[in-house]
Structure 1
């Protein structure tokens, strides 16, 4: 596979997203759907593909109609009606609440915009009325495979749940993919210099304009410089199991300020704290979350890791691959029909550690992420330990995701699988 192929295709038209299938299904059964996710991840573009009409509330003419009479403005249709950038006219949410309470017909409203409702939950009118769809940066499956296929976890019991492409990347190809990340704007960049400029602009807007929006009405003004420093501390610790104190110390902030910044970054979906997995059968497991920046490209830019640095530094390369692959699994979990909860596992003394635990129903699948191209039984030792510690019907399988070309079994219920098998082959029906 040419690892640049999907990046080039990002310039041409709409790339089908895994969220398309979820959004289409939700509109059949629910009156209002809200799409959340990081800035510039493609929420509006995807929503517009499913809408018959739109009110772009960042446009003065559309916003003024809503401010004059929000209830009347959203009843005209046609439906589904996209209400984009709701935070510019928050009163529109109350109008949607009243419309949904009065008429439960499905497929009427798609709402996009800021995720800051997470910080104003006490006054949030959408509770029980919106289905929430979280969008994440573009994945390998959306760029290189077929986004219309069911989630990995929905087809887990199929023998072809992993399908290795004919020409998967090598380790340096994966490194370039991880450094590019999945934000559409970064992928449209013509070269590394233009991508670097996009990253800088994205972080600047996030740590100034967005910080001001999220801080509005919440006491004293917040410092963009300190906020950026805290975000950088996450990037330096991405894919690490670290306590709050380590992030706070790295950012040189007091605890109250740092935790306030954490709440904002979490609401912006820029950072993801993966909780520790707990089991009654396993004792002495840590409860500290695993920290991620949501996108490996942005994380690498914040941590000042470029291609040469990652190529020479195995720790930086490992964190980068872990962050990249975890983002692929996060999107798979989000698009699954069966509820999937992602965790990590680490014993208190560090003798056992598993990168990602996926819990769906009673079953547990475990993933290790390796930058090596030919993982061995030694690399599977933590997966074997977990398999032997759980009831056979609970352990759904262990997977070592690696940078090689071949899928093979390493031990009973444990296999080595190329990372590219997460996106499989591109089907003729896949959108470019």
Structure 2
């Protein structure tokens, strides 16, 4: 069941390596991001739990003898396995019994509820996060500069292939596989359809708790207005009140938890480095949707609307950069955080690798504030206590257009439409 027009994903090589190292791989991420098709490229048999002709039969088998559903050529894909949570424990047991790697691939668009599975699967079932497509995967980045090469000290060279109008379009379209390559109207509709599905159905089905669609939509609109910022629950409640809706802090927390379980939101944690001074670091995470197109849909705007509101566009562009950096950093074993201290000094994105290396980005969509951003990055470098941690592998200003270069002060300028993993 291979897809002839499948677009290669960075996740392909990650899955290939993971299958060599673990008995089972659990691919988790938002619905419609391409998990199933990516898994199918490497699976040799498949169980589709959502097949309407077979769901009742599969559920009965899962209750009576779940091991029957595991029979098939390996790697065997168990798509949307969480419909029958017992499959998790069945896979864990089968991996133990077989003593071989690359036996199963599990995919799911929701995190299982506590108590749905008996065992964590640690050591037997590895987890792999999947997101929507980056600009490089969708063909909207030239890929002339790789994140890995920045960590190696290579000189960035390239020119962005997108103008500001197309940058607004790819922000609103997002990285949904069904949207990439589609006609403009069809592409833009995917994020709107996704938002409607989350609001009307998924956010209540995820844990069986009925939630008011209008209030969920109001919360998502508030998150969109505060995207790429450290909005607290209290801030969100106050912001929602401006829309003539009223949500208590506990309700907002419940809704946020449901959206997190659906992989709709993915906050950006704070980076906590060792500093030379006793400067207090801010530990609040920044708010992000898994794809900035969700924010565009929640705000009921469009590419043309973004071009009329560059303040909002700037925050959404930052969220687009964070999305792509997360995808690229995953390939080289890294996480994407942000830095902010009590003096107001900040870095929009810090890529911290698991081996201790790190690099920092300031995001500026245009060219006018590159000097200011570079100065901020150099101040951050001066505050790091290099006796206790590595100096930065690179400092870079990420822009929406222009050339990729290294400045005389050592700070790189890297347009997002030039970047790849």
The answer to whether TM tops 0.5 is yes
Give 1:325's aligned residue. Answer: 321
1:379 corresponds to 2:368: no
Give 2:403's aligned residue. Answer: 406
Alignment partners' CA distance in 2, 1:330 and 1:256? 30
Give 2:243's aligned residue. Answer: none
Give 2:357's aligned residue. Answer: 363
Report the CA distance between 1:408 and its aligned residue.
2.2
Alignment partners' CA distance in 2, 1:356 and 1:78? 42
1:99 corresponds to 2:91: no
Report the CA distance between 1:156 and its aligned residue.
1.9
| Residues 179 and 300 in structure 1, CA contact (< 8 A), matched pair in contact too | yes
Picking from 10, 21, 25, the partner of 1:18 is: 10
Matches within 5 A, 1:21-420: 21-59=13-51, 60-61=53-54, 64-65=57-58, 67-68=60-61, 69-117=64-112, 119-120=113-114, 123=117, 125-128=119-122, 129-144=124-139, 152-153=147-148, 156-159=151-154, 162=156, 164=158, 168-192=161-185, 194-216=186-208, 221-251=210-240, 252-281=246-275, 283-336=279-332, 338=333, 340-350=334-344, 352-360=345-353, 361-373=355-367, 375-391=369-385, 393-420=390-417
Report the CA distance between 1:154 and its aligned residue.
7.4
Report the CA distance between 1:66 and its aligned residue.
5.6
The CA deviation string for residues 234-269 of structure 1, in whole angstroms up to 9 with x for no partner, is 111111122221122223310111111111111211
Q: 4+ residue stretches of structure 1 with deviation over 4 A?
A: 145-151
| Residues 19 and 102 in structure 2, CA contact (< 8 A), matched pair in contact too | yes
Alignment partners' CA distance in 1, 2:164 and 2:193? 29
| Residues 135 and 141 in structure 2, CA contact (< 8 A), matched pair in contact too | no
1:285 to 1:121, Cα distance in 2 relative to 1, 3 A: farther
Alignment partners' CA distance in 2, 1:403 and 1:221? 41
The CA deviation string for residues 103-132 of structure 1, in whole angstroms up to 9 with x for no partner, is 220011000123222x42674534313111
Quick check: 137-146 or 199-208, which moved more?
Answer: 137-146
Alignment partners' CA distance in 2, 1:124 and 1:154? 43
The CA deviation string for residues 46-73 of structure 1, in whole angstroms up to 9 with x for no partner, is 0000100101111242652463244432
Report the CA distance between 1:306 and its aligned residue.
1.9
1:247 to 1:177, Cα distance in 2 relative to 1, 3 A: same
1:270 to 1:185, Cα distance in 2 relative to 1, 3 A: same
| Residues 274 and 384 in structure 2, CA contact (< 8 A), matched pair in contact too | no
Alignment partners' CA distance in 1, 2:25 and 2:143? 20
Report the CA distance between 1:314 and its aligned residue.
2.2
Q: Which runs of 5+ in 1 are unaligned?
A: 1-10, 425-432
Alignment partners' CA distance in 1, 2:142 and 2:84? 33
Alignment partners' CA distance in 2, 1:45 and 1:205? 20
Report the CA distance between 1:295 and its aligned residue.
0.9
3-state SS in 1 of match to 2:206: helix
The CA deviation string for residues 256-292 of structure 1, in whole angstroms up to 9 with x for no partner, is 1111111111121111111122233151222221111
Report the CA distance between 1:309 and its aligned residue.
2.5
TM-score (norm 1): 0.86
| Residues 397 and 412 in structure 2, CA contact (< 8 A), matched pair in contact too | yes
1:380 to 1:246, Cα distance in 2 relative to 1, 3 A: same
Q: Tell me the matched-pair count.
A: 404
| Residues 70 and 91 in structure 1, CA contact (< 8 A), matched pair in contact too | no
The CA deviation string for residues 276-333 of structure 1, in whole angstroms up to 9 with x for no partner, is 2223315122222111111111211111232232212221121121011111001112
Alignment partners' CA distance in 2, 1:147 and 1:114? 30
3-state SS in 2 of match to 1:187: coil
1:255 to 1:172, Cα distance in 2 relative to 1, 3 A: same
Alignment partners' CA distance in 2, 1:150 and 1:85? 36
Alignment partners' CA distance in 2, 1:313 and 1:65? 50
Superposed CA RMSD: 2.7
Q: Which runs of 5+ in 2 are unaligned?
A: 241-245
